[in-house]
Amino acid sequence: MAAAEAERVFSGLPALGVGVGFREPFRGDLFLQRDRVDFLEITADHYLDAPPEKLRELELLAEHFTLVPHALNLSLASAEGLDRDYLKKLARLVRRLNPPWWSDHVAFTRAGGVDIGHLSPTVYSAEAARVIARNVETVRELIDAPLILENITYMLTVPGGESGEAEFLRDVLERTGCGLLLDVTNLHINSVNHGYDWRDFLRALPSERIVQLHFVGGHWHDGVLVDSHSHPTPEDVWAVMDETLRSAPVKGVILERDENIPPFSEILRELDRARSLGRKYGRWD
Amino acid sequence: MGLAELQRTLARIYTDAELRERYFGDPLKVGREIGLSAEDARLLSQMSAAQVNSFADSLHNKRLLGVGKLLAMTRRALGERFDAHFRRYAAAHVQGGTPQYLDDARKFATYLENSLREERIGSGWTLDLLRFEKARVKAADPKRRVVAAFFRHDISRLVRSVARKEETPTVVKRATLALWVRAKRHGPVRYSAFSAPRLLGGGK
């Protein structure tokens, strides 16, 4: 996708506001308080081979919320190409939901018949960026909806890189024409664990491509900050979000609380704070 | 090194604990053993063992989290012994890398059942709890139509009390047959349990 076309697509996306990653434990509270949640992100993989009760749940959610699917296993950085069966199922889900955008990660999850079981960083090289671009073209054969790509946390730097992560992401976005799902928690965690200033990273990104944010709190383990999605959002991450919302035309923000889920009122307080931040910078009403 | 080969090598090192230990013991030698050129083996030897092991630990913890959710009551009943058994189970090299979480839970439940029987650790009701959760995991497969399991205890009362986190689980010795039935493929599951007097009586 040419740069001008990409800019047209992303600037025309609706401003969704602030929402939460859907999790079953707070399903009841979610419907009772749906006027305080602007949209939902659903984990696409939970609905690809789902039993009837999960599909009914999806229909019910879709009746009341705008749903943005977030996939986990496209393995867009895989040099071996994509799992076509997975892609077809994902395409069916995205067509069914007709979302304003959908997302997956700049990562690989399998290689050589081995399923790693988690998002793994790729090498930051021109070859790796070309691989991602090729895989995104394959995706576009089946899925029209705009795709945005998420930055991941990484514990190791794969040797053989030609640039830093921010420059690599810029290259990937330019080659693919995709938007960016900037996980501000992941950015903060990587900056702490790998000793760099997140402001420099943010400045190196094409801000006009930042469509959506993720945020949540992690925890320390053996001297390393872990993206466990298990704690309230710390002030350091709020600072990253504030600066990102100031400088980028973000359309939506999602709280990704997966573990140690608190009372829903606590989740709503975080959503309200994110919403106020976005309003301060005119990102949504 | 081509990107595909790099990713294949990384995937093996991340998921195979034995290979990882040997690799970081002598990266150049083991790198050559697994088919890397001398140049590629030198390139990969730049990886930090601490960082790779940290990532591998995170993969393990993710598996444990997923399996622990599916066998939650057993994990609560066994406490740290559950995690210790899982570490031993997960250390075995799994062909194909990390199993899918339902498959992982089912295989671990079988491993744990065998281990507990051998060690005679966990009273009979703990085993029944584990076998209940294992059967429930099997029944979650939308392609399975019927799952049946036999218990030495009134499993419904036991499960209810454990699920409610009661201080003392309700343990009643009563032969019980539990069924999970899916009337049609990909349809909803119905669970029923029949305890000994009812079985003998032949009625519902």
Q: Following DSSP, what letter does each residue of A215-227 receive, concatenated?
A: E-EEEEETTEEEE
Residues A147, A79, A112, CA angle at the centre, nearest 5°?
120
Measure the CA–CA gap between A137 and A274, rounded to whole angstroms.
34
Contact B63 A125 (CB under 8 A): no
What tens-digit pLDDT sequence spans chain A (285 residues)?
A: 667 787 888 999 999 999 999 999 999 999 999 999 999 999 999 999 888 888 999 999 999 999 999 999 999 999 999 999 999 999 999 999 999 999 999 999 999 999 998 999 999 999 999 999 999 999 999 999 999 999 999 999 999 999 999 999 999 999 999 999 999 999 999 999 999 999 999 999 999 999 999 999 999 988 899 999 999 999 999 999 999 999 999 999 999 999 999 999 999 999 999 999 999 999 999
Tokens matching residue B172: 């009643």
Angle at B32 between CA B28 and CA B33, to 5 degrees: 115
Q: What is the 3-state secondary structure (H, E, C) of A24-49?
A: HHHHHHHHHCHHHCCCEEEEHHHHCC
Instruction: Give B43's contacts in chain A (Cβ within 8 Å).
Output: 159-160
pLDDT at A51: 81
Residue B51: list chain A partners with CB under 8 A: 155-157
Judging contacts by C-beta atoms under 8 Å, the chain A residues touching residue B6 are 79, 123, 158, 160
Is A223 part of the contact surface with chain B (CB cutoff 8 Å)? Answer: no
B7 pLDDT higher than 80: yes
Which of A49, A113, A116 faces B98 most closely, judged by CB atoms? A116
pLDDT score of B119: 81
- Name the burial class of residue A223, with classes exposed (0-12), middle (13-18) and buried (19+) by CB atoms within 10 angstroms of its CB: exposed
Give the closest of B3, B44, B52 to A128, CB-based: B3
Taken as a whole, chain A contains a residue count of: 285
Residue A82, chain B, CB below 8 Å: the answer is: no
Query: Residue A156 and residue B186: Cβ atoms within 8 Å?
Result: no
pLDDT of residue A8: 86
Question: For position B118, what pLDDT does the model report?
Answer: 86
| Per-residue model confidence (pLDDT) at position A112 | 94
Quote ipTM for the complex: 0.93
**What is the distance in angstroms between the Cα of B59 and the nearest Cα belonging to chain A?**
7
CB < 8 Å to A78, chain B: 7
Sign of the torsion angle spanned by Cα atoms B165, B166, B171, B174: negative
Look at the block and give the residue holding tokens 């454990």.
B162
Write out the two tokens for A158: 């794969």
Q: What is the pLDDT of residues B76-99, one digit of tens each?
A: 999 999 999 999 998 876 767 777
How many beta-carbon contacts under 8 Å exist across A and B?
A: 100
Q: What is the pLDDT of residue A3?
A: 72
Alpha-carbon distance A44 to nearest alpha carbon in chain B (angstroms): 16
What pLDDT, on a 0 to 100 scale, did the predictor assign at position B198?
Answer: 53
Q: Do B11 and A112 touch (CB under 8 A)?
A: yes
What is the reported pTM?
A: 0.91
Q: Which is higher by pLDDT, B123 or B182?
A: B182
B197 against B136, higher pLDDT = B136
Distance from CA of A119 to the nearest CA of B (A): 10
CB < 8 Å to B142, chain A: 49-51
Per the CB < 8 Å rule, is A52 touching B188?
yes
Q: What are B189's two structure tokens?
A: 């599951």
3 state DSSP class of B147: strand
pLDDT over threshold 80, residue B183: yes
Tokens 């760099």, located at residue: A196
Tell me, yes or no, if A51 comes closer than 8 A to chain B by beta carbon.
Answer: yes
B19 touches chain A (CB under 8 A): no
Q: Does B132 touch chain A (CB under 8 A)?
A: no
